[in-house]
Structure 1
């Protein structure tokens, strides 16, 4: 994987093969950040990266100037890799080793963007539970976005607060916002 824009543009990051990850493709990541670039100033937002895996999305935010980034993953190897990579690039990334659902139940951390990339084989009810915990626990800032990455074969349009989806190859991003 590579960082596609910002201070660290073009830098390659190679995660150990033993990590249980499926990094977002460069094409999908570039498309996602083109959408976000039109809505946010990256240096003035906070990001919560759920099911962070290799940290791929967080590195992109950090490269673009975001200074408040928290990664949550249950896998010790993933957390260790994110910490080592963030330290080597001097990126402002905090990590939390935790089950994502337990974290969402207990945290008070509000973020501008909450990005979740759970396993694609999750049942729809698990995707819905992410949305439920984020909105019921008031974890999204007023103008913020919850973005869930999933397979193009999974439909999340029936879940409340859904706004739209964008598909890139086999990846899909569904966007959720507070109702105005």
Structure 2
């Protein structure tokens, strides 16, 4: 995997083979960041990277100037790899070793962009629980964006605050936003 843009553009990151990860492809990641770039200034956002795995998405945000990044994963090897990689690049990434669902139940940390890349073999109910917990616990900023990566064979469009999906090969990103105050009335 490589960093697509920003200060560390072109840098390759090689995760140990023993990590339980499925990194977002470079093509899908580039398309996703083009979408985000049209809506936000990277320097102004806070990011919560759930099921962060290798840290691929966190590095991309850090390379583009985001300073407030929290990566959550339950695998100690993944957390250690993110810490080592971030330190070697001089990136500011806070890591939390936790089951993501337990973290979402207890967290009070709000973010502008929340990215979740759970295992593709999750059930629809497990995928749907991610936006459910985020919105129930008010973890997304009012102008924020929740992005859930999943297989094109998984449909989570009935989840609360679903906006739309974009497909890139076998990868799909579903986007969720809070309704504007006009829509709530």
Does TM, scored on the shorter chain, surpass 0.5? Answer: yes
Does 2:97 match 1:85? no
| CA contact 2:113–2:146 (8 Å) conserved in 1 | yes
Match of 1:31 in 2: 31
Match of 2:172 in 1: 172
Does 2:74 match 1:74? yes
Bigger mean CA offset, 153-162 vs 66-75: 153-162
Deviation per CA, 1:83-115, whole angstroms, max 9, x where unpaired?
000000000100000000000000100000000
- 1:160 is displaced (CA, Å) by 1.6
Deviation per CA, 1:10-53, whole angstroms, max 9, x where unpaired?
00000000000000000000000000000000001000000000
Match of 2:17 in 1: 17
Match of 1:58 in 2: 58
Superposition TM-score, scaled by structure 2 size: 0.97
- 1:159 is displaced (CA, Å) by 1.1
Q: Distance in 2 between matches of 1:174 and 1:117?
A: 11
Match of 1:124 in 2: 124
| CA contact 2:47–2:113 (8 Å) conserved in 1 | yes
Secondary structure in 2 matching 1:66: coil
| CA contact 2:146–2:175 (8 Å) conserved in 1 | yes
Gaps of at least 5 residues in structure 1 are: none
| Runs of 4+, deviation exceeding 4 Å | none
- 1:156 is displaced (CA, Å) by 1.1
Match of 2:183 in 1: none
Q: Distance in 1 between matches of 2:106 and 2:94?
A: 17
Q: Distance in 1 between matches of 2:144 and 2:124?
A: 23
Deviation per CA, 1:108-144, whole angstroms, max 9, x where unpaired?
0000000000000100101111111100000000000
Does 2:41 match 1:41? yes
